[in-house]
Structure 1
């Protein structure tokens, strides 16, 4: 029997996941926890082989929990289940030690296939997430390292398309102020003082 833990602060969604997973032959959900702290307090009482973790949790974040679990239980198989599909969330989770990444709009069949794939040694990802990972890899191979973060790279590419700060904020679900901060950081890293110079420098690379 493969035991599974779910860390999800929306109890209704946690119960849906439990029913989906318990319907798979050979799998059993040992517990649903509404916070990282709750899960850690019971980690040895209700041990699990697989853990599904939301990123946005009250208190300790899902990223922090993944990092702690990799130290406490290095053999545990950790998978994110989240609504967040931005590059920063994806790659921070993977760097922290997550072996898979599912979006919450995944179908029942997709969740069940992902759980079984994770048990069997795979790294399941929602198609949208897998595409982002592949694209990021291609970019890292094709582009000279310019020191920009994934978010900054997203923003400079949108700037190159003529997208305004407000439009970028709407597309990336962040505030206009956050966009402006990223733009200032881009200028600093590229050693330029304006948008045109930044775009031209990226295109040359």
Structure 2
């Protein structure tokens, strides 16, 4: 039985190139093409493809949102992002929403067809540069978790208040402590998190909420 593939890509030239190379394989077949997110969300279910090649930036919505929506009713389908976007936020959003692979469009067609097969076999195909970024992201995340674990309960509460935009005086009033005490806690927070200012501290705190 052939591996069925659907393509969600708004660049028709690239979509047709993908379709041609897929159908040229003995074990693969393209069963559907969609050129925007709305079409994909409305029609993917009827095809139940083994694999979906999904662009990130569609004309009408983000492909990551389509993955999140479609994976709820196509739990066995593998979604592989195929895109030019390589920033960490987009990669993380795609994986969080259910993508099982992430390829850059400058990959060879051979790499893409191999990735389709790999995903069906339970793999998580990624472009080399994407795999490196995923690894670095989780290494940083692990280090951040360790730093946050070193904070006291009071320091965590104050950091949370900082992340919510409260001023020193407001935090002091909330906790029934002096502003000087708040400043002392914040100094300890900066030292333990290895940061130099409030923005860096809040960013580290927010990373753990993903």
Residue equivalent to 1:129: 130
Q: CA deviation at 1:143?
A: 3.2
Is residue 38 of structure 2 the alignment partner of residue 28 of structure 1?
A: no
Check the 8 A contact 1:20/1:111 in 2, yes or no: no
Q: Distance in 1 between matches of 2:98 and 2:112?
A: 20
State the TM-score, normalized to the length of structure 1. 0.70
Residue equivalent to 1:88: 89
Q: CA deviation at 1:45?
A: 3.8
Q: Distance in 2 between matches of 1:130 and 1:102?
A: 10
Structure number with bigger Rg: 2
State the TM-score, normalized to the length of structure 2. 0.68
Q: Distance in 1 between matches of 2:92 and 2:34?
A: 24
Other structure's SS at 1:51 match: strand
Count of residue pairs the alignment pairs up: 160
Cα 1:197–1:116, aligned 2, differ >3 Å: closer, same or farther?
same
Q: Distance in 1 between matches of 2:147 and 2:92?
A: 18
Q: Distance in 2 between matches of 1:55 and 1:108?
A: 18
Is residue 103 of structure 2 the alignment partner of residue 66 of structure 1?
A: no
Question: Which runs of structure 1 show a deviation greater than 2 angstroms over 4 or more consecutive aligned residues?
Answer: 40-47, 141-147, 196-199
Q: Distance in 2 between matches of 1:197 and 1:60?
A: 37
Cα 1:137–1:21, aligned 2, differ >3 Å: closer, same or farther?
same
Other structure's SS at 2:76 match: coil
